[in-house]
Each structure stands twice: as structure tokens, then as C-alpha cells.
């Protein structure tokens, strides 16, 4: 047959070609192009099939995966909302969830709140508009209403690390109470008696509340557990712009220790870095002037000072299990909400070496 010459003339220069553009270019209907794209060439003459094929190549047309998925009634998209993508915990959970989604044939869409609880509703509404099939939430947990709305519209929700008040959903988290006891017991066994728990603002954030409550319980119950009776503990809430207050809290901790060993538990990697920066400003040494146990074993933990003692969270497993729970729901699993708590693991390094501190009245 004679060669076909089709002049490419998209209706909207610079815009992505649509099925209507292809139909116009080939001189056929959109239904004909659709038949070709769905591999039903047997319904077309060879001449028409060739014209459609040439038009697709000329316009560099590619079908929208979203549109194709929606035609089948499934987007194969899962939404993940994280409180703070700069927190290594959130990134690690994301990686675990992404791997599980890929293995099951889903794509993950991320929305970062930047620790702004006012955006929780915005995040869920935005992801819902993209037709995600379900949601994994690692948020501050302060807007349960919007998340509950998503669930009421038939979208399953799985919560990671932080609960939403009165919301019934699968929940995957570290065993916070057990992890705090692990870190506090390690400090006491190493000889630390005056303890400080440093956290980001605690109010209404379930994981922070659970960790702080576990710390207070540990201090109160220390004598009943056969540990030295003279153990004191206080809590300090840290924010980005309170460097002076954090420095003063650490000075006060050493003063209360009265020549003994002061120890700190930091509630996450962000707080750990704030404590380490404060020590640098004060000219103190980890494991000598102050002991430190930090939540989250980051890649840099072994390289800070003599090495940071950390409580490693099974972040990959948390992300993988959260995605797995959601995919089970999408596949029709109908069970009461499940709670999965995983144990932390203590990695002891030089920041908790039991060495007598060198107290200076000037600091």
C-alpha cells in the first residue's frame, strides 16, 4: 500500500497529546483509537490501524496510567502522609512501605505535613482527589475527623506510630513503653542516676505521650524493680528555636546530679541532634560529662563523638507491615482493627560509658 504521510498538528502546542488529538491526527474516532490501544486491532482494517499507529508516533502519545486504571475501577495508588519527611524515622518507614507496595503492584504517593497539624485534612483530601485506594498515616494525630471521613467513604486507613483519638483502624507501631524502659534501664545499669527525658512538644501526640509516661513510670517504679532507689527523672520539651532553654536544662541536670552521672534519653533523631548541638555549645563530652541514649539508629549514630547509644526502631518492618495491612484490607479482609507493636533494640556505644563527670561551676 502507498506510504501514509500524516502531518503532526496537535491542537494544543506544548501540551501532552490526548486520545482526541490522536483521533484527529489519524482521521478516525476516539473509539477507534481506544480499540487500537486495547489491542483489538482485529476490529480494524490494516489501513486504519496503520493510520492510528503513525499518529501515535507522530504525537508521542502515551496513555495516562491513571486514566487506564480508573477505567478498570482501580487506581493502584496508596497515599502516605508523614508528619515530617526530614525526620529519619519517616524516611525509613517510607522505604519499607514503598517496597511492600511495589511488590504488590501499587504505587505510593507521599504528602509531607512539615509538622503542621493544620495540613492533615488538606493532605487527606488531596490524596483522595487523586483516587488513592487507601491511606497510611504517620501524622500528628490531631485531626481524626478527616481521617475518619476517608474511612467512611470506603478507603481503608492504617495508622503508623501515632494514634488518632477514637479512630478505629489498624495500628502499627514501636512498643514505646518497652523501648523507653530498655533505654532507661541501660542508663541506670551503667551508673546514671539523674535522668532527663527530652521530647518534642508532647501534647496530643500519642507516641510522645506514651514515651514520656513510660519514662515517668520507670523512674517511679525503679526501686520496685530492684534498681538503686535514688533515681530521679524530669522531662523537657524541646522546639527548634529554644537553644538557650535546652542548654539551661542540661546545666540544671548536671547540677542536680551533684557530682554523679547525669543521663539523657532523647525521644527521636531530631531531638538527639539538638542535644548533641547543645553539648557542643557547652563544651561537654558524651559519655564523660553526660550520658545519652537516643531513639532511632540513624546512619550517623556511630560517628557522633564516641558513638551514640540508640534504640533502633524496626522502621523497615513498620512500613512494610503498615502497607501489608492496608493491602489486605483492599483485597477484602474484614476483621476488627488490629494493633501490631514491634520491639526496639538497644545498641550500646560510647555515649553511655560510665565515666565520672568533670563538673565545672562555670557551666
% pLDDT > 90, the chain: 54
Q: State the residue for C-alpha cell 492504617.
A: 158
Q: How far is CA 286 from CA 121, 230, 236, 250, in A?
A: 42, 23, 19, 12
- Strands (DSSP E) along the chain, which ranges? 77-82, 107-112, 134-138, 157-160, 170-174, 194-199, 232-237, 262-266, 291-295, 309-312, 339-342, 345-347
- What residue segments make up the domains of the chain, in order of their start? 19-63, 74-173+316-342, 176-313+346-352
Assess contact for 144 and 276: CB atoms under 8 A: no
Average pLDDT over residues 109-134: 86
Does the pLDDT value for residue 61 go beyond 50?
Answer: yes
pLDDT tens digits, one per residue of 321-339: 999 999 999 998 889 999 9
Give the range among 92-96, 113-117, 247-251 with minimum mean pLDDT. Answer: 113-117
Q: What is residue 236's predicted lDDT score, i.e. its pLDDT?
A: 97
Nearest-angstrom CA–CA distance, 120 and 137:
9
Beta-bridge partner residues of 279: none
Q: Find the Cα–Cα–Cα–Cα dihedral 123, 199, 280, 269, rounded to 10°.
A: -50
Asked if 74-173+316-342 and 176-313+346-352 have one fold, the answer is yes
pLDDT tens digits, one per residue of 11-49: 455 577 888 888 898 899 888 888 887 766 667 888 888
CATH topology for 74-173+316-342 is Rossmann fold (3.40.50)
Q: What is residue 12's predicted lDDT score, i.e. its pLDDT?
A: 53
Does the pLDDT value for residue 89 go beyond 70?
Answer: yes
Neighbours of 357 (CB within 10 A): 18
Q: What is residue 6's predicted lDDT score, i.e. its pLDDT?
A: 43
Does the pLDDT value for residue 360 go beyond 60?
Answer: no
**Computed over its alpha carbons, how large is the radius of gyration of the chain?**
28
Q: What is residue 214's predicted lDDT score, i.e. its pLDDT?
A: 97
Q: How far is CA 263 from CA 145, 164, 175, 257, in A?
A: 40, 32, 22, 9
Element (DSSP H or E) covering residue 147: helix 144-152
Superfamily of domain 176-313+346-352: Response regulator (3.40.50.2300)
Average pLDDT over residues 249-275: 94
Q: What is residue 183's predicted lDDT score, i.e. its pLDDT?
A: 97
> How is the chain split among helix, strand and coil, in percent rounded to 5?
45, 15, 40
Does the pLDDT value for residue 69 go beyond 70?
Answer: no
Average pLDDT over residues 82-111: 91
Nearest-angstrom CA–CA distance, 281 and 275:
10
Nearest-angstrom CA–CA distance, 37 and 26:
14
- Kindly tell me the burial class for residue 212, based on how many C-beta atoms sit within 10 Å of its own C-beta (0-12, 13-18, 19 or more): buried
pLDDT tens digits, one per residue of 196-245: 999 999 988 899 999 999 999 999 887 665 556 568 899 999 998 899 99
Amino acid at each position: 500500500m502507498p506510504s501514509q504521510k500524516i502531518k503532526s498538528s496537535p491542537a494544543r502546542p506544548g501540551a501532552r497529546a490526548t486520545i482526541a488529538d490522536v483521533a484527529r491526527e489519524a482521521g478516525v474516532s476516539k473509539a477507534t483509537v481506544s480499540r487500537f490501544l486495547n489491542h483489538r486491532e482485529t476490529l480494524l482494517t490494516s489501513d486504519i490501524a496503520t493510520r492510528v499507529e503513525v499518529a501515535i508516533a507522530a504525537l508521542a502519545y502515551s496513555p495516562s496510567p491513571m486514566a487506564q486504571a480508573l477505567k478498570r475501577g482501580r487506581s493502584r495508588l496508596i497515599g502516605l502522609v508523614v508528619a515530617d519527611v526530614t525526620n529519619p524515622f519517616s524516611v525509613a518507614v517510607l522505604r519499607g512501605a514503598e517496597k511492600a507496595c511495589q511488590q504488590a503492584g501499587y504505587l505510593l504517593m507521599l504528602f509531607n505535613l512539615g509538622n503542621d497539624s493544620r495540613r492533615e485534612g488538606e493532605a487527606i483530601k488531596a490524596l483522595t482527589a487523586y483516587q488513592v485506594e487507601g491511606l497510611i498515616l504517620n501524622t500528628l494525630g490531631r485531626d481524626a475527623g478527616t481521617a475518619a471521613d476517608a474511612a467512611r467513604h470506603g478507603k481503608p486507613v492504617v495508622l503508623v506510630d501515632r494514634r488518632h483519638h477514637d479512630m478505629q483502624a489498624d495500628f502499627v507501631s514501636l512498643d514505646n513503653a518497652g523501648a523507653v524502659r530498655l533505654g532507661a534501664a541501660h542508663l541506670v545499669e551503667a551508673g546514671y542516676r539523674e535522668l532527663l527525658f527530652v521530647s518534642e512538644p508532647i501534647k496530643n501526640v500519642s507516641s510522645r505521650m506514651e514515651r514520656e509516661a513510660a519514662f515517668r513510670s520507670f523512674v517511679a517504679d525503679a526501686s520496685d524493680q530492684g534498681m538503686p532507689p535514688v533515681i530521679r527523672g524530669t522531662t523537657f520539651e524541646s522546639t527548634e528555636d529554644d537553644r538557650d532553654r535546652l542548654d539551661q536544662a542540661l546545666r540544671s541536670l548536671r547540677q542536680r546530679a551533684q557530682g554523679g552521672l547525669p543521663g539523657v534519653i532523647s525521644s527521636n533523631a531530631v531531638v538527639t541532634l539538638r542535644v548533641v548541638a547543645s553539648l557542643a555549645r557547652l563544651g561537654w563530652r558524651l559519655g564523660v560529662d553526660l550520658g545519652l541514649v537516643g531513639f532511632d539508629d540513624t546512619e550517623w549514630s556511630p560517628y557522633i563523638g564516641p558513638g551514640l547509644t540508640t534504640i533502633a526502631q524496626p522502621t523497615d518492618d513498620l512500613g512494610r507491615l503498615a502497607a501489608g495491612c492496608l493491602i489486605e484490607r483492599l483485597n477484602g479482609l474484614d476483621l476488627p482493627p488490629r494493633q501490631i507493636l514491634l520491639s526496639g533494640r538497644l545498641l550500646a556505644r560510647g555515649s553511655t560509658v560510665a565515666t565520672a563527670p568533670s563538673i565545672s561551676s562555670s557551666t
